[in-house]
Structure 1
Amino acid sequence: MQAGIWAPLLFILLQIIQVIFPVIPGGLSTVAAIAMFGAKWGFVYNYIGISIGSIASFLLVRRFGRNFISLLVPKKTMAKYQYYLDGGTKFDRVFAIAILMPVAPDDLLCMFAGLTKMSVRKFVTIIVLCKPWTILAYSLGLNTAFKFIAPYL
């Protein structure tokens, strides 16, 4: 049975939810997109879902503050990042660099960005310009791995 147009829409919704409520490791859903839709469309659906989820996460924290984060993030983790949050524009630079790095805790950083004075415009610009490179790296890397492993399955 094929899900047709619903498959990409449901996947994008899953990505949005998993960014806001990081219960599913983002790497797993990224892999799922490549496996289900291929490298090109997997990248597109990942990018749309992760970007919308990141912006929504930022806005939720901007609206509800630490109370929202405290529901999802242990106090120990909050304390670990507090130094960067207190650093003014220092966080902005660290955030942009981290979004470019494939192994950074992006979902968490998007929430923390909502606690800073970073403008919505700056946040969205960083997500739109930096996030595709990480997703592209995952997409191409996973697609290559699938092609290498597939003959042995």
Structure 2
Amino acid sequence: MGIIYFLIAFIQPIILFTPEMVTITGGSLTLGPLKGFLIGYIGILGGIGAMYFMGRYAQQIIVKRLGKEELFNKYTRLVKKNGEVIIGLLFILPVLPDNIICAGAGISKMPFKNFISIAAVAKLITTFIYAYSIELANILPITELQLFAAQLVVMMIIVLVNHLIKKRRLKVAEMT
């Protein structure tokens, strides 16, 4: 059962349009929260990496097929300007499907090392929350508003860390 769950988690950010929450929660219910978290995290991160490279090397096909060249150009400029923050927020907040985020990062030529680092942290947070959501709901009966507030706190931490990293990079660049 673990192999099937891993494969589902792997293809989820590539071709499945089911939300990560459904995939991880289902795996957690079937395998238990720890196995559901670990297998789901590794699978989703692998699928994210694969989709990034598909976007990077098949960008012309993707852009032409969707017929949204202007939209992709706008997305590329936005990612180049504020890449780390935008990608991190998009992964944590369920605004866009993962496959669009990954392909867009690949198309924008964001360095893979930066992209996968952001994805690893963001997916560590979301996968853990989804895997343990049922147990947490039994222990701590939280409302949707409280869950949203927790997501906002995580988002603000990511923005703050990104700001500090950029500030440090500027100082290092000025010193050289």
Per the TM superposition, whether the score is higher than 0.5 is yes
Q: Is the 8 A contact 1:69 1:111 kept in 2?
A: no
TM-score (normalised: structure 1): 0.75
Name which of structure 1's ranges 41-50 and 22-31 shifts more when overlaid on structure 2.
Answer: 22-31
Structure 2 equivalent of residue 3 of structure 1: none
Identify unmatched segments of 5+ residues in structure 2: 141-176
CA distance in 2, matches of 1:104, 1:40: 26
Shift in CA distance, 65/81, structure 1 to aligned 2, threshold 3 Å? closer
Which of 1 and 2 has greater Rg? Answer: 2
| Count of residues in correspondence between the two structures | 138
Mean Cα deviation higher: 88-97 or 132-141? 88-97
The answer as to whether partners of 1:61 and 1:111 remain within 8 angstroms in 2 is yes
Q: TM-score, normalised by structure 2?
A: 0.66
Q: Which runs of 5+ in 1 are unaligned?
A: 1-6, 149-153
Could you tell me whether the CA contact under 8 Å between 2:56 and 2:109 is conserved in 1? no
Q: Secondary structure at the residue paired with 2:132?
A: helix
How far the C-alpha of 1:130 sits from its partner, in A, is: 2.4
Matches within 5 A, 1:1-150: 7-68=1-62, 82-87=73-78, 88-99=80-91, 101-105=92-96, 106-145=98-137
Tell me by how many angstroms 1:57 deviates: 0.2
Offset from partner CA, 1:33-92 (integer Å, 9 cap, x none): 111011111111110111000000001111111424666xx557x866653322323233
Question: Percent identity over the alignment?
Answer: 21
